[in-house]
Amino acid sequence: MQDGATIAAISTAVSSAGIGIVRMSGSESFDIADRIYRSKKKKKLSEQKSHTIHYGFIVDDGETVDEVLVMLMRGPASYTGEDTVEINCHGGVYVVKRILETLIKNGARPAEPGEFTKRAFLNGRLDLSQAEAVGDLIAAQNQYALQSSVSQLKGNIRNEITDIRNQILYHTAFIETALDDPEHISVDGYGEKLRVSVEEMEHRIRRLLDTCDNGRIMKEGIRTVILGRPNAGKSSLMNVLLGEDRAIVTDIAGTTRDVLEEHLNLNGISLNIMDTAGIRETDDIVEKIGVDKAKEHAEEADLILYVIDSSEEMDENDQEILRMIQGKRAVILLNKSDLAMRVTREDVTQAYDRSSESLNDINPAKINEKENLIIPIIEVSARNSSGINELEDTLKNMFFAGNLSFNDEIYITNVRHKTALADAEESLERVRESIDAGMPEDFYSIDLLDAYEKLGNITGETMGEDLVNEIFSKFCMGK
């Protein structure tokens, strides 16, 4: 901590609300509370038991500011590990600010962004991965991100990383001890024993790294691009998914020129969805720019929703789109299924196979005999919203294999964690290479300690102060 000051901040949104909370943490919290709290029984909060709630009034220079409930938590049994006072007052912009000003006037200082959680980390109440999970929990936009954050907050990442680090420490200590006392401790043949352990640790790290894509999708949402030729119903589909008329819909082909991006929650799955210009050859310069943008976004997408106007025959533009989605996660939507359908699932399957052959690719593996296609095909109607439930279930299965379990599985949602794991894996790989090359044992310990340090960055045990400050500066003021 930079200082031992008692800090205070508003912990709820500063807006009209039923309840507001002003939080204070530090060694003088109870003394400051005594100066501004009044009750009918004239009790002193500093003399009350921890984890109790008291009814009374906040007073500033003899003027009653608000009727409140005050929660007392003595350290170390508090969120920050310090004496903590939380004032539950009436919500509203003015009243919570007035209480905060009263606390500051009586000895507290304004908290910096994330300082409460930073103190919890520095006081050993949370490791850094748990502290970051607090920020992710606040920012969660879907049930998967929420569950993942809660799981990390419980310490599942910390436990896994700590266990791997303990293994590394054991082997490093043995090697160093043996090198210092070769008469009593032999390292003959220890390389093979170490190799088995290193491979097991590499496997565990690789398993964590393999969850990064799902973790990013849970946290940030699925980058989704809607593709199709002009007038296929892309904008209408987006409006149905959003539940509002966000995109302009007309009968004029080429209405959508630029990319329209929105965020939506679809059955617990977050989609960062982009409506794009219809794919076709055009001499219109502005429309051509829109088509090029659509293709660029499709290259970077996690998911492509390819909308086909099933009331019209497919053409060369559809063939181009089918080639674009080769090897990508995609769902083909046969739109306008409420009209007489001139394009069927079988037609799309055959067209997809032809586009695959034109690229000299092997036909995609078949997920079932009925569809004979790895990319799901769903009949939908943007006009009457049919097929949307099937689309929701399909996306859930495509990205999360049905239902996610957060009891035992760990999902890496943080880019910093991913980098640290990748660096640790490289260090362990160097250990294995040194063993295979018959290098001296002290070479092993150098790379083992490097892996140990890289993994310590995740829990915050080997991080510099500047990086810690940068992480907590992204938190909100009252957390």
Residue 1 lies in a domain: no
Q: Is the pTM of this model over 0.75?
A: no
139 and 98 in a common domain: no
138 and 121 in a common domain: no
pLDDT at 361: 47
pLDDT at 8: 96
pLDDT at 407: 46
Which letter does DSSP use for residue 278 in this model?
A: P
d(CA 233, CA 126): 50
pLDDT at 400: 62
423 and 298 in a common domain: no
Last residue of a domain, one of 83, 102, 125: 125
372 and 301 in a common domain: yes
388 and 258 in a common domain: yes
Residue 41 lies in a domain: yes
Residue 297 belongs to a domain with what CATH number? Answer: 3.40.50.300
184 and 288 in a common domain: no
Residue 405 lies in a domain: no
238 and 345 in a common domain: yes
119 and 144 in a common domain: no
Last residue of a domain, one of 348, 372, 400: 400
Regions of the chain with pLDDT less than 70: 1-3, 244-258, 267-268, 357-374, 400-409, 477
106 and 85 in a common domain: yes
Residue 87 belongs to a domain with what CATH number? Answer: 3.30.1360.120
Domain that holds residue 189: 131-211+411-460
206 and 234 in a common domain: no
Residue 471 lies in a domain: no
100 and 171 in a common domain: no
pLDDT at 200: 96
325 and 289 in a common domain: yes
Domains in the chain, number = 3
